Every structure is written in structure tokens, then in C-alpha cells.
Amino acid sequence: MLPMTTMAIHGKTRVVGVFGDPVEHTLSPPMQNRAFAAMGLPYVYVPWHVSAEYLADAVAAIRALRLKGVNVTIPHKVAVLDLLDEVTPQARLIGAVNTIENRNGRLIGHNTDAPGFLRSLVEETGVTPEGQRFLLLGAGGAARAIAVQLLLSGARSLVLANRSLARAQQLCQFLDGLVPQTHVEAIALNTQSEEFLQALVHADVLVNTTSAGMYPHHKEPPLVSADLLRRELLVCDIVYTPRRTALLKEAERAGCRVLSGLGMLAHQGALAIEIWTGRQAPVELMKQTLDEELAKREKEIDVSEGGCNVRD
């Protein structure tokens, strides 16, 4: 357990934080404050509970209070786009902003979730998307962000498998043609179907971007069982509560390499710090902080099964 370093607040303190609804269970404040302290920077990171009706006021306050920036989480990642002066081309493609930068009163929207996934993938597994065949489970906001990132990073092909086929087809339509000559396909998430089994056989990397397996559904059967997984497959799950999801346990049983969602969460936070400060963030320390916080949560869950809704 690392000592919790606290930063003294003074006239030169810069304030950043997160807008969300709810925010009580966000893991970002301990992660970001420990990073700032380790970097020796006079920043504090606070949670702000912002309901939809006050989102525009809260965004205006970034300018009024000269905040260096904020993160934006559920449910504001899409609605906030219309309230900013500028949105990066990638965040615009993804259709969601999770980090706002205040550049001398001009508010710029970034998406660090998608590059956070990419950095976690490359740093923790050594796998780069170039030439790889990806099978993504899901077609929600996280799937769109990761799919855009993988296509822009040179993925050879991308199959989207979703419970609701229509939603996968809609996302596929948007992605198709984003990068010419890259094959994008939508199928139903049905492990009984030949189509899905073929997609599994031909994939190099499987990424779960659905919320299946996330607390309080962590004891439900995994979307894909060990007997369907080849040991050559890299299996990633962006769910991080619990850290070892049922899908990752199955993948380990099948002898696959696995990647949990903790790295993505740490890297999206590290990238936000880099946008606000221009300095490289201590990502290993941030992962360690998340690991400690999640271990505490998992202990609580096992003991009480009480409410725990962790989102970032």
C-alpha cells in the first residue's frame, strides 16, 4: 500500500475534476490526485455531480473559474460536444468527449478513452493493431470509440458482434469506408451460430466492449466460454469491476493471453493529465492506485453485495 500523499491548497492551485451523474463511485479522484502529487504539480482533482439540466452551466463555469480542464463521464459524453468551441477530429468521429481542455478560455473536446485502450494494448501485450483481425463484442459507445481507434491504427479487419444485430449494423454502416480496403462486418452475438464461430476462428484479438460481466452481473456466465477460445487468441475485456471478469477467467482457462480494462482506465486518465499539463503522467502509479481501489471495492462486494456502480 502506497502512502496517500496530499497536496497543500494555496493561491496557485489549479483545479480539475470530473462532471458526471452519478459521480460518487468514480475512481478518478484518487488516481489523478496521486499522479499530480507524484509529479509535484499544484493540481487538485475533484468530482462534480452535474445533472443534465445544468451541464451547460457547468461547462460555462470551466471558463468563468478558469479551470484547466475537466473529464466528462456518463451520461454527458455525447451531449457535451455541442457546448464546446472545438472538438478534435477523432473525438468528432467517435461522437463522444471525455476530456475538456481550457486553452485560454477556448474549450477543446478530446476523447482519451480510445487512445487509452490503444496504449494499454500496445504497452501491456506488445500487440499493435496493424494487420490484426479484431472481433469486438458490443456496439455501444465504447465499441464505437475502440472501433474507430483500431481502424485508424491499421487493423486488417473488424467484426462487430452485438446482442442487438440492428445496432451492430448501424455502427458498421458508419465505420465502413472510414478506412478504405478495411473489412468491417456486423453479426449477431450468438455463440450457437456458425457465423459467430467462424468470426472467432478468424480473429487474432477478441475485445469485450459490452457491459456484460460488470458488477452486479459479475456472476453471470461469460459471453464466450473457454471451449470456444483458441489459445493463440488475445482476449481483452474493458470491464474493470471486477478486475478479472468471467470472460477473462475463461480465456485464462483456454490458455489465452488476457488484458483487463484497468490499463485503459489508467491510460485515459494519464492522457487527460498530459493534455492539461503537457507533462507525462506516472501511469504505473495510476494503475497501482486503481488496483488498490478496485481491490477494496471487490472486498466490499463480496462481503455485502451492496450498491457499487463504478463508471468513468
Supply the residues annotated as catalytic: 77
Give the residue with the Cβ less far from ligand NDP, 115 or 138.
Answer: 138
Q: Establish if 309 lies at the interface with ligand NDP (CB under 6 A).
A: no
Question: Is residue 240 a contact residue for ligand NDP (CB under 6 A)?
Answer: yes
Q: Does 269 bind ligand NDP (CB under 6 A)?
A: no
Q: Would you count residue 138 as binding ligand NDP (CB under 6 A)?
A: yes
Residue 268 in contact with ligand NDP, rule: CB under 6 A: yes
- Is 164 a residue that touches ligand NDP (CB under 6 A)? yes
Count of residues binding ligand NDP (CB under 6 A)?
26
Task: Give the residue with the Cβ less far from ligand NDP, 165 or 226.
Answer: 165
Is residue 141 at the binding interface for ligand NDP, with CB under 6 A as the rule? yes
Nearest CB to ligand NDP, comparing residues 157 and 268: 268
Q: Which is nearer to ligand NDP, 37 or 264 (CB)?
A: 264
Q: Closer to ligand NDP by CB, 25 or 63: give it.
A: 25
Could you say whether residue 235 binds ligand NDP (CB under 6 A)?
no
Cell of 226: 473457454
Stretch that binds ligand NDP, among 45-53, 60-68, 261-269, 283-291 (CB under 6 A): 261-269
Site of interaction with ligand NDP (CB under 6 A): 113, 138-143, 162-164, 167, 189, 209-212, 214, 223, 238-240, 261, 264-265, 268, 311
